[in-house]
Copies of this chain bind each other. A is one copy, B any other.
Amino acid sequence: MTRLTDTFAALADQTRLAMVERMMAEGELPAGALVQDAHISGPAVSRHLKVLRNAGLVQQRAEGTRRLYSVRPEALRAISNWTMDHRSFWQAGLDRLEAMLNEEDT
């Protein structure tokens, strides 16, 4: 199991957070596509991906010479669970959350 601090550490960097958000929005992406957006070198991106992978935040799949990366939902769920575990602390009342739920879905 990945420790929560490792998950947080993986997201404690603008470049990595942006990569993760992009993957969540666009789905699986090859390393090369992620290099385009990041204003850093390929090797740097490659290592950021390694960090994300070691933290269990993304998974890798090979397709020919490409490496396709995608976010692992479990990792995000772990964060969500943690905030939920402490919901009583930061949430004044249930109203806000319920409103959010009712708003977006259906």
Q: Using a CB–CB distance below 8 Å, which chain A residues touch chain B?
A: 3-6, 8-9, 11-14, 17, 21, 24, 71, 73-74, 76-77, 79-80, 83-84, 86-92, 94, 97-98, 100-101, 104-105
Contact = CB atoms under 8 A, between A and B. Distances in A.
Contacts of A88: 104
Nearest to A11: B8
Contact of A73 (B79, B89, B100): B89
Contacts of A100: 84
Contact of A94 (B5, B9, B77, B101): B101
Contacts of A87: 80, 104
A4 B17 contact: yes
